[in-house]
Structure 1
Amino acid sequence: MVTEIVTCVILMLVGIAFLVVILVCLVERGSGITQESAERTTLIQRSSSMSEDDIKNLPWYDYQEDVEKGVECAVCLEGFKPGDKCRLLPNCRHTFHANCIDSWLIKTAVCPVCRTCVDTINVQI
């Protein structure tokens, strides 16, 4: 009878240990933190804002009527009109109204569409 009790206790402890291992695996898998997302978060934190001088060095152009209708600025959600001053972000090539993206980049130096860090090192004016 004693051996039966000891056997039951051992099986119960093995079962509990197995459940704990499964729980730990599920928690690690479900956390969603991958190396890529951790690196992206680090880049966003490192590039928290841009100086006004760096922003002024970003390329800009006067918008002209494009074949593609309905293109809009992702910051203000208004469509581009011919003659609007627009900025082209160098890394991702997304376009915004210059005033809209300038105020955005003062707060955070990432593209509001794709979250790519804005790099002013290789900008050609």
Structure 2
Amino acid sequence: MMFDVVVSVILLFIAVAMLVTIHLCIVGRAFRRGGFDVNAANNFVQRSSSANPNMSLDDIKRLPSFNYKVLEEKEKVIDPMECAVCLENFKVGEICRLLPNCKHSFHAQCIDSWLSKTAICPVCRSNANFTNIGEKSRNSSEVEVELV
């Protein structure tokens, strides 16, 4: 009985030693190939965090907004739309906001809070700042949203 425990402990130590050796070989190979450049990793983080800065309150308020309503179609059940930020279904009459570049819709409060931290769409990660959007499409009374 005692012999079985000793053998098990020895085999455990051998297995751990093999895993550590394999890990060191893989990490050593990556260092030799230049795969782990700490400065490059830091630069990547800095670039990615500064590529999409937050939006100003004025820019956020210029995004198209609309009152949510459900269009009824004959013999077709339409699933309720969901805000990707708070994961709540849209309710009739709620104020929603449309991102002009990707056409994703969210509750106005949810996306305003999101965009004040980062100017990217929470669904598709596209830039939420205006790009080639005419003044006509910025008018919230002319916004049309197609639910697919």
2: CA distance between counterparts of 1:107 and 1:69?
30
Q: Which residue in the other structure is 1:85 paired with?
A: 95
What is the TM-score normalised by the length of structure 2? 0.54
1:54 aligns with 2:59: yes
Where does 1:93-108 land on structure 2 (aligned, <5 Å)? 93-108=103-118
1:47 CA displacement: 1.8
Q: 1:47 to 1:80 in 2, by over 3 A?
A: same
Unaligned runs of 5+ in 2: 1-24, 36-43, 72-76, 139-148
1:114 CA displacement: 1.1
- Matched-pair contact (CA < 8 Å) for 2:55–2:129: no
SS of the equivalent of 2:116 reads helix
Q: Which residue in the other structure is 2:146 paired with?
A: none
Percentage of identical aligned residues = 49
Aligned residues: 98
What is the TM-score normalised by the length of structure 1? 0.63
1: CA distance between counterparts of 2:49 and 2:123?
14
